[in-house]
């Protein structure tokens, strides 16, 4: 298979239309999802009154396909994305797709777009975006009858400019997710409400927003598109615990890698902004499929800078080790735990 003629090493995180996508439909009449198929058409035709357009009934996932050192194409723990999409569907009253069909859809769409999977060593990957939404008309506030599930792919480079360079973020005055709301699922609406906040952050020179818990505004939750990791003075990996943050697959994988590959201590607990202000953490990072691990060098808290000890010049030693071990596993250079790597071809 001949690869597309793309300057792989200079890709940003942007949409590029690739050849094939996967589509499956659910109708209330059939009471189930159809078998789905790979199609060419990237356009969606729907009613002006489709549920997704009015009451934001949509959820999505994000994962990546990698070319390994020995030339295979693989995805990373797609079953966990399938399980999380089911949780998102439960929260939004969307009929659940089976994890088997989800994993099969990822397999088929990556296989069909193999020419778009960036070669090993370019720093780029094929981002895979599964999403599901209410497509039939709804006017009273209720779930739609019919749904569509789609998966498209797009080759991407680093989410933050500069790749692994430390970023400058701010503590946000906007809230991301209410305590008993939808913060723990990947609902499109969680991102809609972050758009004004991210534009405002960018306009003020910050790469991302750190959201605090809305109830007390004292605890660190996560950013708009990634979970947060801390390294404390004892070299422990500290992970904020909250019911209203997304259970990041990258973060869960990194916790395992930290403990079992790097021999680190890992703690999941509430993390107070005050601890960050006191300088209790020597490294801070954002983690997620898109972000991988992006180091945070400086945090602005209402005009006052909190300088993280690892600084703005380069990624700290623990984040570097975590990042390279995870990437090594994903790209086939380090042996993966059983079941983590799904080989496409």
Sites of contact with ligand PLP (CB under 6 A): 62, 222, 225-227, 246, 248-251, 288-289
Q: How far apart are CA 130 and CA 94, in angstroms?
A: 14
Minimum distance of ligand COI from residue 289's CB (angstroms): 4
Per-residue contact flags (x/-) with ligand COI for residues 285 to 314, judged by CB under 6 A: ---xxx------------------------
Nearer CB in complex with ligand PLP: 107/251: 251
If one asks whether residue 118 binds ligand COI (CB under 6 A), the answer comes out as no
Minimum distance of ligand COI from residue 93's CB (angstroms): 22
**H or E element: which one contains 232?**
strand 227-232
Q: Which does 156 bind (CB under 5 to 8 A by kind): ligand COI, ligand PLP, none?
A: none
Cβ neighbours for 209, distance < 8 A, ≥ 6 positions apart: 169, 170, 171, 172, 174, 176, 194, 197, 198, 201, 223, 224
Cα–Cα nearest to 285, from 212, 230, 328, 220: 230
Per-residue contact flags (x/-) with ligand COI for residues 15 to 54, judged by CB under 6 A: ----------------------------------------
Residue numbers 62-81 binding ligand COI by CB under 6 A: 62
Q: Is 81 helix (H, G, I), strand (E, B) or coil?
A: helix
Q: Which does 75 bind (CB under 5 to 8 A by kind): ligand COI, ligand PLP, none?
A: none
Burial of 1: CB neighbours in 10 Å, binned 0-12, 13-18, 19+: exposed
Token look-up 């306009």 returns 203
Q: How far apart are CA 102 and CA 85, in angstroms?
A: 9
Contact (Cβ atoms closer than 8 angstroms) between residue 172 and residue 141: no
Minimum distance of ligand PLP from residue 226's CB (angstroms): 5
Q: Which does 222 bind (CB under 5 to 8 A by kind): ligand COI, ligand PLP, none?
A: ligand PLP
Minimum distance of ligand PLP from residue 142's CB (angstroms): 27
Cα–Cα nearest to 291, from 251, 243, 342: 251
Nearer CB in complex with ligand PLP: 227/310: 227
The angle at the Cα of 242, spanning 240 to 248, to the nearest 5 degrees, equals 70
Minimum distance of ligand COI from residue 285's CB (angstroms): 14
Query: Could you tell me which residues are beta bridge partners of residue 228?
Result: 286
Q: Which does 101 bind (CB under 5 to 8 A by kind): ligand PLP, ligand COI, none?
A: none
Residues of this chain that bind ligand COI (CB under 6 A)? 62, 225, 288-290
């Amino acid at each position: 298979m001949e690869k597309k003629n793309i300057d792989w090493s200079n890709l940003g995180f942007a949409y590029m239309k690739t050849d094939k996508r996967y589509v499956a439909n659910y109708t209330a009449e059939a009471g189930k999802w159809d078998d789905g198929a790979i199609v060419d058409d990237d356009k969606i035709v729907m009613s002006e009154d489709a549920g997704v357009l009015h009451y934001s009934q949509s959820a999505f996932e994000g994962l990546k396909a990698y070319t390994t050192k020995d030339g295979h194409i693989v995805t990373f723990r797609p079953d966990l994305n399938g399980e999380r999409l089911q949780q998102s569907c439960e929260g939004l009253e969307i009929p659940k797709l089976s994890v088997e069909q989800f994993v099969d859809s990822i397999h088929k769409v990556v296989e069909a777009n193999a020419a778009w999977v960036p070669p090993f060593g370019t720093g780029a990957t094929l981002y895979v975006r599964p999403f599901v939404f209410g497509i039939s008309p709804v006017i009273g506030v209720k779930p739609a009858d019919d749904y569509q599930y789609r998966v498209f792919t797009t080759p991407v480079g680093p989410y933050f400019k500069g790749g692994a360079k430390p970023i400058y973020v701010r503590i946000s005055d906007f809230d991301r997710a209410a305590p008993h709301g939808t913060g723990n699922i990947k609902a499109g609406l969680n991102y809609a409400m972050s758009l004004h906040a991210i534009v405002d952050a960018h306009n003020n020179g910050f790469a991302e927003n750190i959201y605090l818990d809305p109830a007390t505004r004292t605890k660190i939750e996560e950013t708009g598109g990634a979970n947060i990791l801390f390294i404390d003075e004892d070299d422990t990996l500290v992970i904020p615990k909250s019911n209203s943050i997304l259970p990041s697959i990258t973060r869960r994988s990194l916790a395992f890698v930290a403990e079992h590959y790097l021999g680190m201590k890992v703690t999941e607990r509430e993390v107070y902004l005050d601890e960050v202000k006191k300088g209790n953490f020597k490294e801070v990072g954002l983690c997620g499929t898109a972000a991988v691990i992006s180091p945070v060098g400086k945090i602005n808290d209402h005009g006052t800078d909190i300088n993280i000890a690892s600084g703005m010049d380069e990624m700290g030693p623990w984040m570097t080790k975590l990042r390279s071990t995870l990437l090594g596993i994903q790209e086939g250079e380090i042996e993966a735990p059983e079941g983590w790597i799904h080989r496409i071809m």
